[in-house]
Amino acid sequence: IGGTASSSFKQPIIRLKSTGVVKFKDAPRYVTDKDGNHIIVKGGMLCVYDNEDSEIESHELVIGATLSKLEGEKVKSNEVVSKWDPFNVPIIAEVSGRIEFRDLIEGITLSREVRSSGIEELTVMEHREDLHPQLVVIDDNGDILDHHPLPSGAHLMLVEDAQVDVGSVMA
């Protein structure tokens, strides 16, 4: 046995070993969805500081993780402060609006497949042309609010013209 089988599996949670106060490093960014969940959209570090303002513990925050504690909040040892799906790296809406597909052309940059369950699956294809597939979030006036480049292999979780809310998984 070797390779991946012998490496230790990283648990998809952050369980603290120490009691202290949460501080963020490396500028993580999160959004709060309509259910009040705090979801990481740009990674960084979650650190625990003691009463003397010394860092006693630090953990990497991954994209898509939900946070139960924010900067400045007190935490206890053995407390779970973050959870995530270890098998996906989601592309998350940071603003609410309507979705517009850019450079997503069926058969060239977009694969459309209907599964046996009847669910249609949209996947970004690998391509060599001068196209840059992306999801663009626009407002009611058609103004661009945000855009998200899509890597090849990304599975789209919505259709064009769909309405998205802050914190929605788009791909």
The model's pLDDT over 72-94, given as tens digits with 9 standing for 90+, comes to 999 999 999 999 999 999 999 99
User: How high is the pLDDT of residue 10?
Assistant: 66
Q: Which residue has the tokens 């699956």?
A: 121
User: How high is the pLDDT of residue 54?
Assistant: 92
- What Rg, from alpha-carbon coordinates, does the chain have? 19
How confident is the prediction for the chain on average, in pLDDT? 90
Q: Which amino acid is at 5?
A: A
Cα four-point dihedral sign 105, 111, 114, 120: negative
Structure tokens at 138: 């626009």
Asked if 10 and 86 count as a contact pair (C-beta separation under 8 A), the reply is yes
The model's pLDDT over 4-63, given as tens digits with 9 standing for 90+, comes to 444 444 689 999 999 999 999 999 999 999 999 999 999 999 999 998 889 999 999 999
Asked if 38 and 66 count as a contact pair (C-beta separation under 8 A), the reply is yes
